[in-house]
Amino acid sequence: MQYKWTALTVTAVGTLMAGIDARIVIVGLPTIARELGAGVEEVIWVSQAYILASTIGLLLIGRVTDVVGRVKIYNLGFAVFTVGSVFASISFTPYELIAARIVQGVGSSMIITNSAAILTDATPKNELGTILGINQIAFRTGSVLGLTLSGLILSVASWPALFYINIPIGIFGTLWAHMRLREISVRDTARKMDWIGFATFSLGLTLVLLAITFLSYGVSGLALGFGCLIVGTSLIIVFVLFENRIQTPLLDMSLFKIRLFAAGNLAQMFNALAWSGSILMLSFYLQVVLGFTPLIAGLSLLPLDAAFVILGPISGKLSDKYGSRIFSTLGLCISSAGFFLLATISESTGYFVIALILALLGAGNGLFVSPNISAIMSSVPPNRRGIASAFRVTTFNIGLTASAGIAVLLITFGIPYSSFSQLIEGLVPTGIAKDQFVDGFRLASLVLAGLNTIAIIPSALRGPRLVSPSTTQEVERDYVE
């Protein structure tokens, strides 16, 4: 078997597990809130802590993998994630669960950062879109399993069982990666680590992401939220200025001279800003407004993932032949249309209409994701793929983290925060509260639609293809300065 297929089987296990964990918790959040007696703040942090922990250390992990190799860090990530899953399954309070989710997030960052880099190392450029498209199927398959398994599990067991499934997958993935992966990456010979840059960036990014979460708490979080936002943004600006002045930066700023790298990451971030919040809102909408059980709510979201699974690998293969710009941009246009339609639904909207909107959203994202990742990763030098992958995942996770906070903040423009918290906990199932939630849902959907639409601009400006995909020296016009 060619090594690219071996690498694909190993990384597919990691992305499968990540996909399961991404959705199995979202659908279970209302149940977790009720059984643990958690408010909206704690419930948000069950999701946010995972994403935050998997984001702040990404650049350091990417830099380390470029120096010491990708396989060691990937294998360690599986072990850390598995340990976090064990602790999550035995948590007794919201805060213990949040701490366990942090451990999971650290392990996830090691896995996800290296997955795309390992595949890029092992795959010819003219086949990379196809391979990444197949790898994305594993993530979406995990998402589908997460949606269905969460409902099935919660129908027969309590919420800790949501994390049991990660344990056998994590053990198998750790052993499988150790046995099958080999180190073929090009190492970065400059071994000095930029600890000042890491500390500045991590603290700044943490404060910015915390600011968005605090702002979603309503009036009570405004002062703390804006304070964190100002300080965090200032630290990130200091980080950028510092990185331009040292010889071995944490983040090689010259990567942003590569037009395809910069445009792809910018498009991805705005796309992610729309997605996490929309899935979270839909999970609440289906269970709180329509009264679906967790199982039915999970199954109701399947059209989104089904459309993604169908179009994802097709888009990846076509982008290998025709370039990334047309498919990524078309996908964003389609998903934006879906977001705008999402803003029109009400309590009386039939599920068939909702399913069509979900399929439209999934189809658009399926067209966008694989070509965009392929374009980003194939545009950078081999010895920078670790940090490039880390930055790609960082921008993606920033979007995901901010999206959930933005969605909750916008929803509270329609329903008072206290009523929203009680509604999620099942304490005020009144018609007035549901109507207010729907008003906030519509406003949030419109804003998220606008954010996804902004992503179309950098995607369309990434530059057309120059040469035939039959050569391994493939480039795209104007993406290198």
301-357 pLDDT, tens digit each: 888 878 887 887 788 778 877 878 888 899 999 999 999 998 888 777 888 898 999
- Is the CB of residue 419 less than 8 Å from the CB of residue 299? no
Binning pLDDT at 50, 70 and 90, where does residue 467 land?
A: very low
Crossing angle of helices 195-215/222-243, nearest 10°? 160
Binning pLDDT at 50, 70 and 90, where does residue 230 land?
A: very high
How does the average pLDDT of the chain come out, rounded?
79
Rg of the chain in Å (alpha carbons): 21
What pLDDT is stored for residue 387 in this prediction?
77
What pLDDT is stored for residue 481 in this prediction?
34
Binning pLDDT at 50, 70 and 90, where does residue 29 land?
A: confident
- Structure confidence by residue, pLDDT tens digits, 53-68: 877 777 777 777 777 7
- Is the CB of residue 106 less than 8 Å from the CB of residue 54? yes
CA dist., res. 53 & res. 40, Å (int): 19
- Structure confidence by residue, pLDDT tens digits, 265-282: 899 989 988 887 788 788
pLDDT beyond 60 at 448? yes
Of these ranges, 126-135, 155-164, 245-254, 422-431, the one predicted with the greatest mean pLDDT is: 155-164
- Structure confidence by residue, pLDDT tens digits, 31-49: 787 778 776 667 777 877 8
Q: Domain limits of the chain?
A: 3-193+248-460, 194-247
What pLDDT is stored for residue 1 in this prediction?
60
CA dist., res. 268 & res. 290, Å (int): 31
What pLDDT is stored for residue 423 in this prediction?
63
CA distances, 191 to each of 57, 123, 187, 334, 474 (Å): 18, 26, 9, 44, 30
Binning pLDDT at 50, 70 and 90, where does residue 251 land?
A: confident
What pLDDT is stored for residue 111 in this prediction?
86
Task: Single out the residue of 80, 95, 101 nearest to residue 25, CA to CA.
Answer: 101
CB count within 10 Å of CB 140 equals 25
pLDDT beyond 50 at 479? no
Mean pLDDT of 461-479: 45
pLDDT beyond 70 at 459? yes
What pLDDT is stored for residue 471 in this prediction?
36
- Is the CB of residue 357 less than 8 Å from the CB of residue 345? yes
Of 247 and 163, more confident: 163
Of these ranges, 150-164, 342-356, 383-397, the one predicted with the greatest mean pLDDT is: 342-356
pLDDT beyond 70 at 284? yes
- Is the CB of residue 112 less than 8 Å from the CB of residue 18? yes
CA dist., res. 274 & res. 197, Å (int): 29
Q: For 343, list phi and psi in degrees, rounded to 5.
A: -75, -5
Task: Single out the residue of 378, 17, 52, 2 nearest to residue 173, CA to CA.
Answer: 17
Mean pLDDT of 139-156: 75
Q: How many degrees, rounded to 5, is the angle at CA 209 between CA 394 and CA 243?
A: 50
What pLDDT is stored for residue 43 in this prediction?
74
- Is the CB of residue 288 less than 8 Å from the CB of residue 434? yes
What pLDDT is stored for residue 330 in this prediction?
92
Residues 6+ apart with CB under 8 A from 267: 328, 332, 368, 372, 455, 456, 458, 459, 462
What pLDDT is stored for residue 338 in this prediction?
92
pLDDT beyond 70 at 244? yes
The tokens describing 260, both together, are: 């395809």
Mean pLDDT of 177-201: 75
Kindly state the percentage of the chain with pLDDT values over 70.
86
- Structure confidence by residue, pLDDT tens digits, 97-136: 889 988 988 888 888 778 877 888 888 877 776 787 777 7
- Structure confidence by residue, pLDDT tens digits, 205-217: 888 877 877 776 6
What pLDDT is stored for residue 464 in this prediction?
57
Kindly state the percentage of the chain with pLDDT values over 90.
9
Residues 6+ apart with CB under 8 A from 286: 292, 296, 297, 300, 301
480 three-class SS: strand
- Which residue is associated with the tokens 């990334």? 324
Mean pLDDT of 167-185: 82
What pLDDT is stored for residue 475 in this prediction?
40
Q: CATH second-level architecture of 3-193+248-460?
A: Up-down Bundle (1.20)
- Is the CB of residue 402 less than 8 Å from the CB of residue 121? no
What pLDDT is stored for residue 417 in this prediction?
65
Least confident of 130-134, 249-253, 331-335, 422-426: 422-426
Residues 6+ apart with CB under 8 A from 86: 163, 167
Taking the C-alpha atoms of 145, 361, 47 and 85 in order, what is their torsion angle to the nearest 10 degrees?
Answer: 20
